[in-house]
Amino acid sequence: MLVPCRRGGMLAQLRVVAPKYAGQGFSLVEFILVALLSSIVIMAAARIAVSETRASIKSYAIQTLRDKYSRITYFIDGEVGEGDALSVVRDESVCPADTTPAAPSGVTESVRFLFSLRHRYVQSQGRHDKYTCFFGVPLVNTPGSDPNNWALYRWGPAIGDKSGVIGRTSDDSAVDDDLNPGHYVVSLYAYVYDVALNSRSACGTIGLPGVDAADPTKYACDGRTLTYRLKVGSGTSGRGSLWSSTYPSGSTIRTVYARARIL
C-alpha cells in the first residue's frame, strides 16, 4: 500500500508493507476445516454415548421383566404347591359370580377365568376348605395377547403379612373369620394363557400334550400339574419408548409347570 508523506518539502511515497505472520495462527479456511472436523468428532461421540445409554436402559428394562416373570411364576407355584383340587373349568360353587374382578371403567372385554384350587385348614372348630380363583383382567378393549393390556388377579384367602402362609396363623395380623377372602392384584401387565391341567380328559391316550414322556411326574395324568404360559410387559407399548418391552418373546416362550401337593 502506498502512503503519501512530506519529506524535505517534497511528497514522497512510502511503501508500507503489512507484516507477514506466516506460521502464526490459522487462515479462515483452516479454521472452518478444524471446526468442521471437531463437529464431526463431537457428533460421533454423542451418538455413541446415546447409543450406549439406550442399550443400558433396554437391558435394564428386560432384566426387570425377567425378575417380574420369576416373581409371578414363583407365586403361582407356591400357592398351587399348598393346595389341591386344581381346576381349569369354572365351578360356580367354588368361584361364584361375585369373585369375578371388575375390569377398568369403559372396558367391555370379558374377564377370563384361569384356574382355581382348594386350601384345607385344620382348626379347633374342624376342617375348613377355602378356595383361590385366578383371573385375567383386560385393561383395554380388544387386548389381544399383548401383556401390557392385561392384569393378573387373585381371589381367595389372605397371605399372612409375617408368616407368608396362606390363611390365618397366630403370628400374623388379625384377619376376619373367613380368612379375609378378597381380590388382590398379583401383577399388572401380565398375560396368562394356554392354561391346562394334566387330567385324564386332557391327557387322553397319549399323555399330556407337549410334555416329555420321560418325565413321569409331569406326564402322569393325575390332575395335579397345572401348565400355563406367561408373558409380562412394562406397561408401555409405544414403539418410541425405550421401556416398551415384553418378556419372553418368540421362541423363548415356554410352558410353566406348577405341581399341587399330595394329600
pLDDT of residue 221: 76
pLDDT of residue 241: 61
Q: What span, in angstroms and rounded, lies between the C-alpha atoms of 4 and 13?
A: 5
| Strand partners for 120 | 129
Instruction: Supply φ then ψ for residue 143, to 5 degrees.
Output: -75, -20
| Lookup: cell for 102 | 371388575
Domain range summary for the chain, segments of one domain joined by + = 54-259
Look at the block and give the residue holding cell 369403559. Answer: 106
Report yes or no on whether pTM surpasses 0.85.
no
From first to last of its 263 residues, what are the pLDDT tens digits of the chain? 544 555 555 555 545 444 554 556 667 777 788 788 888 888 888 887 777 777 776 777 888 899 999 999 999 998 898 888 899 999 999 899 988 999 999 999 999 999 999 887 655 455 567 889 999 999 999 999 999 999 999 988 777 665 555 665 566 666 555 545 567 788 899 999 999 888 767 666 555 555 665 665 555 677 888 989 999 998 876 666 666 788 887 777 888 888 887 55
DSSP character string of the chain = -EEEEEETTEEEEEEPPPPP-TTSS--HHHHHHHHHHHHHHHHHHHHHHHHHHHHHHHHHHHHHHHHHHHHHHHHHHHHHHT-EEEESS--TTTS-GGGSPPPPTT--SPPEEEEEEEEEEEETTEEEEEEEEEEEEESSSS-TT-GGGEEEEEEESPBPTTT--BS--TTSPP--TT---EEEEEEESEEEEEEEE--HHHHTTT-STT--TT-HHHH--SS-EEEEEEEEE-S---TT-TT--EES-GGG---EEEEPPP-
CA distance 24 to 30: 12
